[in-house]
Amino acid sequence: MKSKSVREVVLSGLLVAMGLLLPMIFHAFGLGSTFLPMHIPVLLAGFVVSLPFAVAVGAATPILSSVLTGMPPMFPVLPYMVFELAAYGGVACFLYRKLRLNVYVSLVGSMAAGRIVSGLVVWVMATFFMAKLPGPLVFISGGIVQGIPGIIIQLLFIPALVLILSKNNLIKREGLSSGS
């Protein structure tokens, strides 16, 4: 296994572990769903590991958390969180590392994409599986309003962490050309 792959496996494991630990800490104080603690390491994964690893961190974190801690509940929350968080990691990685967009544009773009994906999953669950969930637009807007404190934290801390990691050459951007 190449050292780059080992590095990505280790970083991905660390980010998944953070995605398990942060919600437990926040939920201990009754702040979990408002501050969106699981989203922070998943979004960060989009900036520090390659696309497959970022998507894997996003998908694996809520699954492992649900199995190990019961948060999020297996149904109806887990299915849409898996897709939402996988989209966060994947879109952040694609926008920042591949398209080389600004950290804020990449972050906001991934946050929007993840919420749209979760809305689509909610629509599928409500339509095809008779899940008792609100409509996708109500679901997305409600999630945004309820999560404003967490969104603010993400907008403040993730760019700062990415800047620190970039200045220390801990983040590599691939770019669009095949040689870079």
Residue 123, Cβ density class (10 Å: 0-12 exposed, 13-18 middle, ≥19 buried):
middle
Average pLDDT over residues 77-86: 97
Mean pLDDT value across the chain? 91
Q: What is the crossing angle of helices 77-93 and 51-69, to 10°?
A: 160
Sign of the CA dihedral running 105, 107, 111, 114: positive
The residue extents of the domains of the chain are: 3-167
Domain 3-167 indexed as CATH 3.40.50.300: no
Q: pLDDT per residue over 113-167, tens digit each?
A: 999 999 999 999 888 887 777 777 888 888 889 899 999 999 999 999 999 999 9
Average pLDDT over residues 58-83: 96
Percentage of the chain surpassing pLDDT 70? 96
What's the confidence (pLDDT) of residue 179?
A: 41
Q: pTM of the predicted model, to two decimals?
A: 0.91
